[in-house]
Copies of this chain bind each other. A is one copy, B any other.
Amino acid sequence: MYTQGFGVSTGDLSRITRFDSYDRSVHSRDHPERVRKGMTTQKRRRPGETRDMLMEAALTLVGRGRHFASLGIREVTRQAEVVPTSFYRHFRNMDDLGLTLVDELGVVLRGMMREARANVLHADKLMDESVAIFVNHVQSNRNFFTFMAQGLAGESQAIQQGIRNEMQFFASELANDLRNLRLLTHLSDEDLDMACELVVRTVAFSLTDILSISPEDEEELTRIRRQTTRFLRMIFIGADHWQSS
Contact = CB atoms under 8 A, between A and B. Distances in A.
Interface in A34-49: none
19 contacts: A2-B21, A4-B18, A5-B6, A6-B16, A6-B17, A7-B8, A14-B14, A66-B155, A67-B69, A67-B70, A70-B70, A149-B152, A153-B211, A194-B234, A198-B231, A198-B234, A198-B235, A234-B235, A237-B241
Interface in A119-150: 146, 149-150
Chain copies in the assembly?
2
A193 to B, nearest CB: 11
Interface string A1-41: 01111111100111111110100000000000000000000
Interface of A: 2-9, 12-19, 21, 65-67, 69-70, 146, 149-150, 152-155, 157, 160-161, 164, 194-195, 198, 201-202, 204-205, 208, 211-212, 227, 230-231, 233-242
Contacts of A233: 238
A244 B243 CA distance: 23
B155 A65 contact: yes
A67 B235 contact: no
B6 A164 contact: no
Contacts of A157: 65, 212
- The 3 nearest A-B residue pairs measured at CB: A238-B238, A67-B69, A149-B153
Nearest to A1: B19
A152 to B, nearest CB: 6
Nearest to A14: B14
A187 to B, nearest CB: 10
A241 B231 CA distance: 14
Contact of A205 (B204, B211, B212, B231): B204
